[in-house]
Structure 1
Amino acid sequence: MIPDLGIPHVAFHLPQCVDDVRSWGQRTGQSTTTVVQLERAGMRYYRKANGQTAIGLAASAIQRLLLTSGIARREVDCIVYVHTLQGSVAPPPHSLPGLLCDRFGFVNAEAFSFAQQHCASALAALRVIRAMFIARPHMKRVLLVGADVMPLASERLMQAEGILGDGAFAAFIERGAAVNRLLAIAMHASGLGWQGVLANDESRLAAQNFFTARSLIRQTVQQARFTLDDIQRILPHHLDLPAWHRLLDSLQVPHDRLFAENFARIGHVTVSDAFINLAQCEGLVAGRPLLLFARGIGGFSAAALLVR
């Protein structure tokens, strides 16, 4: 039996330092064409850590989550840490999830990390967490946390689709939660994107990403026995806003269903985009579904359908 899970509490932390795309382009020697393409993709600003570490950002997000939720630390059964960048984990023999357990006193929590789906790892982790709840009837609450810090300013460019900002999120996944109940998850993995941002055949990958996203959204909605018309909001990853508009047109979904405010003011925060949007999207109607979507380099995509 699939357990009734939900995401009742979400928090995030963004570094205080805000930079703009044009200044970044000048400092890193980008062409005017690249900067213009980023602006057309919806990018304006991003956050940079300025010396803060991934564990520091993750700890700030967890601290906010504990304060706003009122959950006792002994009531956390497991921590799942997700990330994209290899520098966002502690070097052996340390364990970043273990360090978080020590810092916050999560004495009853198991801990592990999950990064194989790159930027789609946070949503893909929901499937792993759901399997854990099925296998362990005693489990009540999992802390899902993600963080990334880009060490090199010149590496923030995600082709012409967006710019990578630093940040972290934390969320409680709970059995029997009354809000943001998890209805369906769908994932896609393709070896065609194995070169990631270094790939030269951008048009082929863009077409693949388009059709994959369309298929996943339809599949997820159908799994939950809803229609596309039922979706009240889509909470996207912050890459290529015009491509999102084309995708919505192909699905015949109005553009105002897309929560797009964070493209310009935050940029793409790897594993965190969907959960930052979940924390900030206001006016959600109880009983109606909303869709979270993420795409990672290497041909990974994931979608999750929640009901408010």
Structure 2
Amino acid sequence: MTALEAVATYLPEHRVPIEELAGELDLTPMQVRLFRRFHKLSDVCRAPGATPLDLLLAAVSNLDDLPAVRHRVRYVLWARTFPVVVPYPLNPLETMCRLLGLDKAVAFTVTHHACATGLLAIDVAGRLLAGSEPDALALVVAGEKAFTYDARVVPETSVFGEGASACLVRHEGPRDRLLAYAAGQRGDFDDEVTTDVGRFQEEYQAALMAAIRAAVDRAGLALDDIALVLPHNVNVVAWQRLCRRIGYPVDRVLLDNVPLTAHVFCADAFVNYQTARARGLLRPGDRYLVAAAGAGRGATFSAMVFEH
């Protein structure tokens, strides 16, 4: 059963108030107020001058366990929201592996689920490790730059921040065991995020609810059994509405990072996991759920249930 061996994150200390981003994001004063007062998006993490490679290395450097188990890493996966994030022929993943002494690992990028790709990468890593030796590991990293307009803002919904995450995955382990994974894909949302925001927002709640319920059902649990939800940090009001619809207490959804970091691409789940661990919100045996949605050429709504 796939398990998380260790998780680390990196968030730059530099944070920009959303008002200062109005110009580059082409936001009206009313839209700025909407983001801050309604969606509770206050500050955005930015790392001026840092490259995607810098972000990934910063997160991996916080994986204290990696030096001792480097020789066991068989796969390295970079979970990305966008298919292309650097100009050819740059290859941050290849460079990172070389610098970390992971040249012999099979390294590749996972995309196509947009901001839900972090969960897909965990699932792929677990499947690959099922055919490896028992102590083999996979390193899953996530982190991107807000380098274009589309990589900086989701219209009327969220703002992207910069940061990164890294986690070691094993096929079986004693904690943070993956109990179930569900992903629903909607090919009919072909770029509606920018061309028909209203339609996407209208159906977003139902699609994400379906993924959450499917994951909980596959884990053989009920929603009441879920001790904590680690969300994607799009905004606060979306989660308040979803919790009302599914009858889940919003105070058991970790939303504290939304005003501090904004939406850190595929790294949200791991940023929230670190916060939950630091605050003692997860006890041994607790079942928790990670949820994410991604949109671009189509949309993906995903959820994973873990046992801490």
Residue 236 of structure 2 corresponds to residue 238 of structure 1: no
Q: Counterpart of 2:107 in 1: which secondary structure?
A: strand
1:306 corresponds to: 306
Contact persistence 1:133–1:139 (CA under 8 A): no
User: What's the offset of the Cα at 1:145?
Assistant: 0.2
User: What's the offset of the Cα at 1:173?
Assistant: 0.6
Instruction: Please give the residue correspondences for 1:81-230 in structure 2 after superposition, counting only pairs within 5 Å.
Output: 81-89=78-86, 91-92=88-89, 94-137=90-133, 140-152=136-148, 156-199=152-195, 201-230=196-225
Contact persistence 1:7–1:172 (CA under 8 A): yes
Correspondent of 1:37 among 29, 34, 37: 34
1:288 corresponds to: 286
Residues 162-221 of structure 1: per-residue CA shift (max 9 Å, x gap)? 11101110001113322111111111111222215322x222211221111111111000
Contact persistence 1:42–1:162 (CA under 8 A): no
The 1:86–1:131 alpha-carbon spacing in structure 2 relative to 1, beyond 3 Å, is closer
Correspondent of 2:47 among 49, 56, 73: 49
Q: Which residue identity is paired with 2:144?
A: D
TM-score (norm 2): 0.92
Structure 1, 273-282 or 146-155: larger mean CA deviation: 146-155
Q: Which runs of 5+ in 1 are unaligned?
A: none
Partners of 1:284 and 1:45 lie apart in 2 by 26
User: What's the offset of the Cα at 1:108?
Assistant: 3.5
Partners of 1:48 and 1:107 lie apart in 2 by 30
Q: Which residue identity is paired with 1:237?
A: H
Residues 141-164 of structure 1: per-residue CA shift (max 9 Å, x gap)? 100001100124685221121111
The 1:264–1:7 alpha-carbon spacing in structure 2 relative to 1, beyond 3 Å, is same
Q: Which residue identity is paired with 1:197?
A: V
The 1:90–1:292 alpha-carbon spacing in structure 2 relative to 1, beyond 3 Å, is farther
Partners of 2:152 and 2:87 lie apart in 1 by 21
Q: Which residue identity is paired with 1:82?
A: A
**Structure 1 stretches of at least 4 aligned residues deviating more than 2 Å after TM superposition:** 26-29, 67-72, 85-92, 94-97, 133-139, 152-155
User: What's the offset of the Cα at 1:28?
Assistant: 4.7
User: What's the offset of the Cα at 1:98?
Assistant: 1.8
Q: Counterpart of 2:130 in 1: which secondary structure?
A: helix
User: What's the offset of the Cα at 1:69?
Assistant: 5.6
User: What's the offset of the Cα at 1:139?
Assistant: 6.2
User: What's the offset of the Cα at 1:137?
Assistant: 4.6
Residue 76 of structure 2 corresponds to residue 79 of structure 1: yes
Q: Counterpart of 2:288 in 1: which secondary structure?
A: strand
Partners of 2:268 and 2:57 lie apart in 1 by 18
Q: Which residue identity is paired with 1:252?
A: G
Structure 1, 19-28 or 112-121: larger mean CA deviation: 19-28
Paired positions, count? 302
Q: Counterpart of 1:71 in 2: which secondary structure?
A: helix
Contact persistence 1:235–1:290 (CA under 8 A): yes
Partners of 2:179 and 2:32 lie apart in 1 by 39
User: What's the offset of the Cα at 1:54?
Assistant: 0.7
Contact persistence 2:83–2:111 (CA under 8 A): no
User: What's the offset of the Cα at 1:85?
Assistant: 3.0
Structure 1, 264-273 or 31-40: larger mean CA deviation: 31-40
User: What's the offset of the Cα at 1:87?
Assistant: 4.9
TM-score (norm 1): 0.92
2:22 corresponds to: 25
1:11 corresponds to: 8
Contact persistence 1:77–1:139 (CA under 8 A): no
The 1:78–1:166 alpha-carbon spacing in structure 2 relative to 1, beyond 3 Å, is same
Q: Counterpart of 1:52 in 2: which secondary structure?
A: coil
Contact persistence 2:161–2:262 (CA under 8 A): yes
